[in-house]
Chains A and B, each alone.
Chain A
Amino acid sequence: NAGVTQTPKFQVLKTGQSMTLQCAQDMNHEYMSWYRQDPGMGLRLIHYSVGAGITDQGEVPNGYNVSRSTTEDFPLRLLSAAPSQTSVYFCASSYRGDYTEAFFGQGTRLTVV
């Protein structure tokens, strides 16, 4: 049971490049989400999904796209990377319900130069 798997672990991009952060979970969780965590700050929600085919914006969605074609996968796309997107990105998943634990991936440290 791998849990939540994120790839890559580290990435350096040039301004204007695009890339996709991968997230996969093997727990059959309905709910998946992407957060960014900046130094000394908390977790800010970028996008989330309550099931395959359904996505919605979180607190800081600009510059990011998501899709959810399967229950297992929830990729995050950076359309045109900017230095302000330098951050650590976490994917999380959980069962949809009142008292369910969120499981996090190991994180992706992204630097945009």
Chain B
Amino acid sequence: GENVEQHPSTLSVQEGDSAVIKCTYSDSASNYFPWYKQELGKRPQLIIDIRSNVGEKKDQRIAVTLNKTAKHFSLHITETQPEDSAVYFCAAKDSNYQLIWGAGTKLIIKP
């Protein structure tokens, strides 16, 4: 079945710098890759997603890239702000429509 690995587990960046979180997946049939943000004590919420027929997608300061050949996808956050501090989860939807989750990355924005 599908397996998703996410790195790093913790990422600390200076405010204003960029942050990159990477995920790899194992099932080449997976075709949907969402990213969720979970603030402390809150529920996970979708921030951006990408379909397998697209290489890159941007939404203001957030972008996601997908390399189907290498089976990896990444979240890019530019000009980081304090409110970006959270845990970020990647996921891949497998052929049974189930979301397989990465272990999460705790992003710390240093003032």
List residues of A whose CB falls within 8 A of some B CB. Answer: 31, 41-43, 45, 48, 50, 90, 96-102, 104-107
A97→B98 CA distance, assembly (Å): 9
- Cβ A107 vs Cβ B43 within 8 A: yes
* Chain B interface residue bracket vs A: 20 to 34
**A102 to chain B: closest residue by CB:** B99
- For B43, B45, B89, B103, the residue with the greatest tally of chain A CB atoms inside 10 Å of its CB is B43
| Interface of chain B: mostly helix, strand, loop or mixed | strand
**A90 to chain B: closest residue by CB:** B43
A101 and B101 in contact (CB under 8 A), knowing A42-B89, A43-B89?
no
- Cβ B32 vs Cβ A99 within 8 A: yes
Across-interface contacts of A31 in B (CB, < 8 A): 97
Shortest distance between the CB of B3 and any CB in chain A (Å): 12
